[in-house]
């Protein structure tokens, strides 16, 4: 599933094609591309000017000169591609967006149909209007209004494994399985360690690791393991070659040489170094 670096890469790629442009037409080619709870038909955006393109966590917000928003989520395999208008439709084409370019259009393609494009109503948050979808999730670590002190306190109150807390979009949005494993490895924290056992300096180090690893991933265009994630030009991200923990089962830890282990985590997996990332709770060490 695309995580924050992948969605931000897509946002940056789309900006030159959409910011300041008027939507000539937007067409739902397949109903799988439209969220069932859309506030209004997607075609309501026809004729609207796109003032800017924002992101919160894994959501994209096309800010319009209207009293509603156009919002998108890539789901597990959603792609926005800038394609020649004359090129054949892709097998999994869901939504077509024409912003007035003579030869190019934007296509939303989604093989697994968990992604969507929809109209959202606007609601107030901290004195400004945002899409309702935004209001359901916490700020991500790159948001200028991100309050690190509040997030640290929120994490320390959670009676759940820290890996689960990192994936909780109501605590901090944008982090998924890949970057949770990578950040925990960098911060030397076991994925099953209870969040409320962590000291404040440990949580601060973890958040620094989250921001660092995602910043590095952004410079590489995100992480691609297959063609389900590509940027708007159809190119893969190259951060996979720099992964230290995720997907590295049985490979030597680059810090200590111990084999990276994989454990079941709900319907996912966690990858970690058993020497660098000891589960202190299981060792009887308590938070002081």
CA-based nearest residue to 191, from 256, 286, 271: 271
SS (H, E, C) 131-145: EHHHHCCCCECCCCC
Contact 102, 17 (CB under 8 A): no
Q: Residue 176: exposed, middle, or buried by beta-carbon count in 10 A (0-12, 13-18, 19+)? A: buried
Distance CA 222, CA 212 (A): 13
| β-pair type (50-56, 93-98) | unpaired
What CA–CA distances, in Å, run from 115 to 2, 24, 53, 228?
Answer: 11, 23, 18, 12
Catalytic residues, by residue number, are 2-3, 58, 268
Distance CA 185, CA 88 (A): 44
Give bridge partners of residue 120 from the DSSP assignment.
Answer: 69
Tokens for 65, please give them.
Answer: 């000169």
Distance CA 26, CA 23 (A): 7
DSSP structural state of residue 165: H
Distance CA 178, CA 265 (A): 13
* Alpha carbon of residue 57 to chain centroid: 5
């Amino acid at each position: 599933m695309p995580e924050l670096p992948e969605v931000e890469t897509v946002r940056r790629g789309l900006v030159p094609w959409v910011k300041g442009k008027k939507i000539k037409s937007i067409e739902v080619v397949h109903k799988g591309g439209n969220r069932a709870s859309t506030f209004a038909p997607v075609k309501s955006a026809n004729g609207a000017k796109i003032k800017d393109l924002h992101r919160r966590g894994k959501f994209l917000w096309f800010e319009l000169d209207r009293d509603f928003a156009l919002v998108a989520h890539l789901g597990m395999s959603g792609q926005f591609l800038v394609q020649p208008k004359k090129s054949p439709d892709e097998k999994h084409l869901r939504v077509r967006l024409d912003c007035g370019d003579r030869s190019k259009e934007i296509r939303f393609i989604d093989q697994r149909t968990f992604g969507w494009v929809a109209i959202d109503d606007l609601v107030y948050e901290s004195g400004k209007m945002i899409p309702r979808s935004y209001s359901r999730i916490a700020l991500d670590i790159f948001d200028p209004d991100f309050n690190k002190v509040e997030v640290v306190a929120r994490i320390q109150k959670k009676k759940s494994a820290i890996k689960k807390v990192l994936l909780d979009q109501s605590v901090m949005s944008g982090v998924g399985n890949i970057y949770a494993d990578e950040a925990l490895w960098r911060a030397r924290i076991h994925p099953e360690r209870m969040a409320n056992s962590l000291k404040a300096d440990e949580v601060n180090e973890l958040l620094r690791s989250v921001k660092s690893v995602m910043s590095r991933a952004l410079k590489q265009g995100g992480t691609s393991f297959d063609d389900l994630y590509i940027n708007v030009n159809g190119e893969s991200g190259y951060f996979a070659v720099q992964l230290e923990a995720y997907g590295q089962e049985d490979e030597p830890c680059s810090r200590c040489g111990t084999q990276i282990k994989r454990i079941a985590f709900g319907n996912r997996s966690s990858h970690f170094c058993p020497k660098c990332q000891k589960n202190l709770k299981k060792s009887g060490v308590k938070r002081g």
